[in-house]
Structure 1
């Protein structure tokens, strides 16, 4: 099979590696020359294209699988709409107009669309409630996958990823130095984010469906920070409630809503398809790097 990864970055490169190891051909799409050099370094066939420019889309190769996972240049509603709504719509129309459209289109969304649940559990059956205009754009893009893609003869799948981490994205200082604000962390290691997509594609699972991409164990930020500090042999960091953390800060309304949001994302869908984790929890994910730093 041939896969085209639109926005072949942090997770996309790992996905490309896994698919190539399984004998599939992969084209990675990036906007910049610097991005193309990174793809070449990792042995991924590079293609320069801008998803927001329709003329650019004519260069996209024929593919069996298309994975849409670009990152907007700015964390604004308009930038997200241009890339994830208008861009995705153009990608669907471009591929659907071809004589051999792709079999699958996977869209990498975010668990942020669930909004705040005051620490309660959510799963694929939980109604979404995007708390900001930017997150509402992700939900709008999901609806394109759920309705427009099937109408155009393409099986679409939405994966709502939790917080991605792994090499170069451990953000240790945030939790070791504090203050650490209350609330739950939902995470997934880069290897498993790529692994979930690989399994869905290779085993033809969850077509025209939704899954939450998360590991097996959400953790409270305070518990995680203390565990990390103990592992490092450092003093446990200061803890703050949301109210204490926000006091005196002139954050935007959207940022305050993100900070207040707390939920525990269940891996119900991944359990049902029998996904086997490479990194089941934060313990396996963080311990090797911490031990390496201490050696």
Structure 2
């Protein structure tokens, strides 16, 4: 396997930590040389990519790539790699055997708290989710033209080392916002790495929800973090009167319970099937602070 990860951020590094030991080569892109040590620490050869046509070193790596992971969010102009590969993916990556595209459960939009799965029609609400769905469609066309299996991983709210409710509690930033009936799914970043690795190894295509077993109100996660740390939770705050940024408030406009049954049917077993096990593990090994 020769792996290339475009956008080796929080999720990309988790994927690399899971897969690089199996790779003859593993590379990853970032926008800043300051992040090179983080990529190298996860087993990646670092490259700079800032959008548009890939530079010569990235282009050369693509020429040998067998497994491509795309983890760069679309911007106002759309997905940067879709534009770069507009003339054909096979020209840029002639040895490609599999593509993984990291998307979001936000593409489903609001379903009033009902259970949904990969067959549920998408009706995205926010501009960022509309852009994600457009990128999914673009990658689907590109992969079909190249004859390469494409796995679209729709991710729920990501947490893990250094990005979690325990750290928010410790820093005094956690809030228990109450919006009756509101639920979210979550996913530990290690399970993003594990699920992507399984799909890559088996060269599986299709759409997969990569999300936990326990959709729950957001205030319950904060309360659980407080219990794990042995401290009092912050007071409850009414969502309607809370001071929130437009982006933060927009997340509460989507209410759904997302099923992960499909990824399980192809053999994935979640390391952290709910936020209880995830937070417990983060606190036990101290990685919540990283």
Query: Equivalents in 1 of 2:208, 2:200: separation in Å?
Result: 13
Query: Equivalents in 2 of 1:129, 1:227: separation in Å?
Result: 32
Question: Shift in Å at residue 59 of structure 1?
Answer: 4.2
Does 2:59 correspond to 1:58? Answer: yes
For residues 89-113 of structure 1, give each alpha carbon's deviation from its aligned partner in whole angstroms, at most 9, with x where no partner exists.
Answer: 4246463214724111111001111
Find 2:267's aligned residue among 265, 268, 274: 274
Find 1:231's aligned residue among 213, 228, 232: 228
Does 2:258 correspond to 1:257? Answer: no
Whether the aligned pair in 2 keeps the contact of 1:180 and 1:225 (CA below 8 Å) is no
Query: Equivalents in 2 of 1:292, 1:203: separation in Å?
Result: 31
Gaps of at least 5 residues in structure 1 are 72-78
Aligned to 1:157: 151
Query: Equivalents in 1 of 2:196, 2:167: separation in Å?
Result: 30
CA RMSD of aligned residues (A): 2.6
Does 2:278 correspond to 1:285? Answer: yes
Does 2:204 correspond to 1:210? Answer: no
Whether the aligned pair in 1 keeps the contact of 2:176 and 2:234 (CA below 8 Å) is yes
Aligned to 2:11: 11
TM-score normalized with structure 2 length: 0.85
Does 2:39 correspond to 1:44? Answer: no
Aligned to 1:76: none
The alignment partner of 1:260 has SS state of: coil
Whether the aligned pair in 2 keeps the contact of 1:108 and 1:159 (CA below 8 Å) is yes
For residues 179-198 of structure 1, give each alpha carbon's deviation from its aligned partner in whole angstroms, at most 9, with x where no partner exists.
Answer: 42332131111111011110
TM-score normalized with structure 1 length: 0.84
Query: Equivalents in 1 of 2:168, 2:92: separation in Å?
Result: 47
| Length, aligned pairs only | 280
For residues 55-103 of structure 1, give each alpha carbon's deviation from its aligned partner in whole angstroms, at most 9, with x where no partner exists.
Answer: 56534432111100025xxxxxxx6243x52433424646321472411
Query: Equivalents in 1 of 2:84, 2:195: separation in Å?
Result: 25
Whether the aligned pair in 2 keeps the contact of 1:101 and 1:154 (CA below 8 Å) is no
Aligned to 2:70: 68
Gaps of at least 5 residues in structure 2 are none
Query: Equivalents in 1 of 2:282, 2:99: separation in Å?
Result: 34
